[in-house]
């Protein structure tokens, strides 16, 4: 029995790795210049070889504050013609708030801050909101020129890219000590990741290039919540585990 569980456990791990890789989004061929594709932007931001735009996608779409105090967001880069703005939404109530003004000038002020108190109330850029917000949240980018919102939770998107055709945001976790270059009102600033820092990259158009470089942000001091697998992932995982169990039992029967 112990040998069965050990062998089966290794198969489970393999299936989990396969399903995780299968859900990674292949980036489209950007209509922008090569210098502006997402991999190049990540290399310019954190250094070459630190983050792979496809292999290091986390699939994470919901977070919580990792410590007391404000959560700060900064623009890393923007490659877009349409106007847009960054927002936050409650994963509990669905309430949405804007963190920045709308625009398409990367040299404008794109910094923002927010915090959630012990009662689930949210403060945005120094102003407390009256409604209960909750503790878990996601982000969205609104293309104000085309009235499209791109949510970090793919299930909230009306369409998009990837296996379920509804992904419009990618997230990357930064290991502690990683140095990032960000924009702050027209000049470059350096941030050192603490282990609770993330990069979120948005696609703001449907059925176009799927390059996810339209608006890329750095977010400090947030931690991932336990993610619920998408339906296709759960189905693939279930089928994989059943197949592994059948194959392993047959193998054991032949050996006995």
Q: How far is CA 56 from the centre of its chain?
A: 10
Q: How far apart are CA 244 and CA 201, in angstroms?
A: 36
Domain that holds residue 75: 27-229
Residues 41 and 77 in one domain: yes
Whole-structure pTM value:
0.79
Are 151 and 168 within 8 A, CB to CB? Answer: yes
Q: How far apart are CA 63 and CA 197, in angstroms?
A: 11
Residues 139 and 15 in one domain: no
Residues 76 and 166 in one domain: yes
Are 72 and 220 within 8 A, CB to CB? Answer: yes
Residues 154 and 239 in one domain: no
pLDDT in tens, 17-64: 333 334 688 887 766 666 688 999 999 999 999 999 999 999 999 999
Residues 17 and 99 in one domain: no
- Domains contained in the chain, number: 2
DSSP code, position 137: E
Residues 8 and 40 in one domain: no
pLDDT in tens, 106-138: 888 899 999 999 999 999 999 999 999 999 999
Residues 18 and 92 in one domain: no
Residues 235 and 220 in one domain: no
Residues 133 and 249 in one domain: no
Residues 12 and 119 in one domain: no
Q: How far apart are CA 198 and CA 83, in angstroms?
A: 23
């Amino acid at each position: 029995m112990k040998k069965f569980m050990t062998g089966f456990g290794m198969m489970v791990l393999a299936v989990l790795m396969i399903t995780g890789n299968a859900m990674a989004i292949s980036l489209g061929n950007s209509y922008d210049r090569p210098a502006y594709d997402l991999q190049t932007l990540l290399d310019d931001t954190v250094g070459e070889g630190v983050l792979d735009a496809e292999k290091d996608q986390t699939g994470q779409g919901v977070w919580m504050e990792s410590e007391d105090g404000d959560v700060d967001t900064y623009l890393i880069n923007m490659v877009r013609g349409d106007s847009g703005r960054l927002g936050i939404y409650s994963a509990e109530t669905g309430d949405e708030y804007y963190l920045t003004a709308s625009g398409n000038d990367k040299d404008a002020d794109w910094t923002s801050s927010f915090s959630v108190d012990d009662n689930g109330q949210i403060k945005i850029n120094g102003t407390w909101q009256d409604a209960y917000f909750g503790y878990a949240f996601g982000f969205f980018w609104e293309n104000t020129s085309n009235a499209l919102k791109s949510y970090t939770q793919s299930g909230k998107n009306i369409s998009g890219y990837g296996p379920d055709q509804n992904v419009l945001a990618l997230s990357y976790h930064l290991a502690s000590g990683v140095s990032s270059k960000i924009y702050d009102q027209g000049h470059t600033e350096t941030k050192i990741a603490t282990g609770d820092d993330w990069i979120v990259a948005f696609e703001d158009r449907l059925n176009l290039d799927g390059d996810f470089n339209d608006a890329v942000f750095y977010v400090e001091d947030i931690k991932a919540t336990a993610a619920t697998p998408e339906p296709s992932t759960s189905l693939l995982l279930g089928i994989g585990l059943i197949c592994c169990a059948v194959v392993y039992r047959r193998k054991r029967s032949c050996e006995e």
